Amino acid sequence: MPDPTSETPEARDPARPGGRGVQSIEIGTRLLEALVARGAPMMLKELAAAAGIAPAQAHPYLVSFRRLAMIEQEEAAGRYRIGPFALDLGITRMRTFDPMQLAAEAMAELSRRTGLTALLSVWGAFGPTVVLVHEGIDQVHMTTRVGTVYSLTGTATGRAFAAWLPAEASRPSIRSRLPRGFEGRFVGVAQPLREEEIATIRATGIATVDHPPVPGINAIAAPVFDHLGQVLAVAALVGDARVLGMSPTSAFALALIGATRRLSADLGWAADRG
């Protein structure tokens, strides 16, 4: 069984891949990261402090960034803010990257690292709907396929959605609304979900269910957020209960949380503003 806690430096921080880099660029980028994290214009002194750089060292970087239109400076107050070229970069990023491909790669890597089956679900017309399945080496017997709809309160994935979606958006789907022949693709039986359980899910970042749809098969789930901090999808690990426990502090849970946070960051979510 692969060790879910073993990560390369690239996996821990995908923004800094291996290989020799240019240190000055990395130092200067800390100023841009500080502006993004603050989300508001900043004076030189506070910007340098946020980036961990002396003001005298930060100033030449800011001059270059201004020439490149990466940042701009307010004439009256003298504060620095993100510039128009940074906006162009962001727009190009949005136009050219494929969120589903990014998610598929993340689920494949999560499955490879843990040896478990990794799933990704989105909120569909009838509730949590599986859109990606990457089977692990554990070879557990599963009936879950792309298009499967989960119970909102009777599955780990459903409970993750229930914890982060607005109440009006996450009311349990009524089975009578399901199309003819769809019933067999609906997984899980509704179970009580108390407010304190929702609070625990939000606090730990991990959702589980006491009575899983398939006895002996456990699942843990965690949310993926978009740039607005709204839940965009839910990722889950599924495996034999003898291997996959449901503790939110287990190695598998930490691997899942790490994967969903990295994917969320790639989609524009900022944890410090979450």
**Does any domain span residue 32?**
yes
* Stretch 64-69: mean pLDDT: 91
| pLDDT-wise least confident of 48-52, 88-92, 223-227, 232-236 | 88-92
pLDDT confidence tier of residue 107, bands split at 50, 70 and 90: very high
Do 181 and 78 fall within a single domain? no
Do 73 and 191 fall within a single domain? no
Higher per-residue pLDDT: 174 or 19: 19
Q: Is the model's pLDDT at 52 over the cut of 50?
A: yes
Split into its structural domains, the chain has a count of: 2
Q: Is the model's pLDDT at 1 over the cut of 70?
A: no
pLDDT of residue 180: 54
Check residue 147 and give left, alpha or beta (phi > 0: left; psi -120 to 50: alpha): left
Four-point Cα dihedral 137, 142, 147, 149, nearest 10 = -130
Instruction: Provide the token pair at 222.
Output: 């965690």
CA 209 to chain centre: 21
Do 253 and 118 fall within a single domain? yes
Q: Is the model's pLDDT at 11 over the cut of 70?
A: no
Do 232 and 253 fall within a single domain? yes
Sorted by sequence, the CB contacts under 8 Å of residue 45 that are 6+ apart come out as 55
CA angle 14, 146, 100 (to 5 degrees): 30
Alpha-carbon gap, residue 124 to 148, rounded angstroms? 10
**Does any domain span residue 1?**
no
Predicted TM-score (pTM) of this structure = 0.66
Alpha-carbon gap, residue 117 to 99, rounded angstroms? 20
Identify the domain boundary among 61, 96, 131: 96
Do 103 and 92 fall within a single domain? no
Identify the domain boundary among 68, 96, 124: 96
Do 82 and 143 fall within a single domain? no
Do 69 and 157 fall within a single domain? no
Per-state percent for the chain, helix, strand, coil, to nearest 5: 40, 15, 40
Do 212 and 111 fall within a single domain? yes
**Does any domain span residue 46?**
yes
Do 26 and 156 fall within a single domain? no
Do 109 and 33 fall within a single domain? no
Higher per-residue pLDDT: 168 or 207: 207
**Does any domain span residue 3?**
no
Q: Is the model's pLDDT at 18 over the cut of 60?
A: no
Q: Exposure of 262 by Cβ count < 10 A (0-12 exposed, 13-18 middle, 19+ buried)?
A: buried
Do 142 and 261 fall within a single domain? yes
**Does any domain span residue 182?**
yes
Q: Is the model's pLDDT at 252 over the cut of 90?
A: yes
pLDDT of residue 94: 66
Alpha-carbon gap, residue 274 to 261, rounded angstroms? 11
pLDDT of residue 264: 92
CATH number at residue 267: 3.30.450.40
Residue 241 belongs to what domain range? 99-273
* Stretch 181-202: mean pLDDT: 77
pLDDT of residue 80: 92
Do 160 and 179 fall within a single domain? yes
* Stretch 141-147: mean pLDDT: 73
Higher per-residue pLDDT: 89 or 12: 89
